[in-house]
Structure 1
């Protein structure tokens, strides 16, 4: 029987080593910085006073200035918050100043956020807030009357609207008008802050 010798495997060839012992030094140009000789990629401003690899700052967001959309948003929020405010008044039988402020602030906030920085929006928001607080007070009277009489809220509000407004005039006092003013001021401020 003859003995076979395993095939000889190729021996790895020694790679040239730099004198400092770093096997990657030969691959790195410019004293060990692998990116030094590479041109900046994807930067159209390279060579125009910009450092390579840094993009210019993003342009500012476009300013919103859509007064019609801001007014529509303010009207919707005014109506919704008037309904909530009226329900609170009707169920508690108290006018709550913070609720009137919330009605105004949310109305102004919606106008400013959606409509932008148009100078008419804070004024329109304040006027809408006056209407919303007034409407909320009427709704509150209607909710209270519906609970007392057993009639539906819609019947009292729509069929007897003149009775509600007469009752509001009789019941109105200094606090009633103060709440209207608080709501209008909050709407004006909310629109200014939201648009800033």
Structure 2
């Protein structure tokens, strides 16, 4: 039996960088580009954000611009993180943000109207939806439409930033 020599001290052992003269670069992570899943995530975010925005309007009895921007950004964030870099997601996110802000305004208007008339919110919004829309049209001013634009812009740019 022959005995082998003890291994050299730790400092003298070959390092991985010494053993391989050239290591190929690590390929970048594959980009996710799932438009359908991004749209589903954006739609879900739009429904939740619209409801929350409506509750904020109904409780405060005021439109709040930063909340509209938040609605758009949340929708864009969901679309970009889940769906990827597809430009269609940014456009769809902006459209969904417009719809979410509109629905939020209607929910807020119905909450305010239900409070002042003394009926339930669900009865007013589901059975007298035309009255809610008419009340919104009367209350809409240029600032209202500015909030629509801010939400759409936030969704568009949020989608692009989240996908990066």
Q: Which residue of 2 aligns with 1:111?
A: 79
Does 2:51 correspond to 1:73? no
Cα 1:34–1:27 shift into 2, 3 Å: farther
Q: Secondary structure, in 3 states, of the residue corresponding to 1:64?
A: coil
Cα 1:59–1:94 shift into 2, 3 Å: same
Does 2:157 correspond to 1:179? no
User: Structure 2 residue aligned with 1:125, among 93, 113, 133?
Assistant: 93
How many residues end up aligned between the 2 structures?
159
TM superposition shift of 1:174: 0.3
1:30-179 maps to which residues of 2 (within 5 A)?
A: 34-35=12-13, 49-50=21-22, 57-179=25-147
Q: Distance in 2 between matches of 1:170 and 1:185?
A: 25
TM superposition shift of 1:58: 3.8
Q: Identify the structure with bigger relative contact order (alpha carbons < 8 Å, sequence gap 6+).
A: 2
Post-superposition Cα deviations, 1:142-179, rounded to whole Å, max 9, x if no partner, equal: 11122223322111111111111111111111001000
Post-superposition Cα deviations, 1:31-52, rounded to whole Å, max 9, x if no partner, equal: 996425xx97xx9xx55x33xx
TM superposition shift of 1:195: 0.8
Give TM-score scaled by structure 1 length: 0.74
Gaps of 5+ in 1: 1-25
Post-superposition Cα deviations, 1:32-76, rounded to whole Å, max 9, x if no partner, equal: 96425xx97xx9xx55x33xxxx6554322111000000110011
Contact 1:28 1:34 in 2 (8 A): no
Does 2:153 correspond to 1:191? no
Bigger helix share: 2
Q: Secondary structure, in 3 states, of the residue corresponding to 1:59?
A: coil
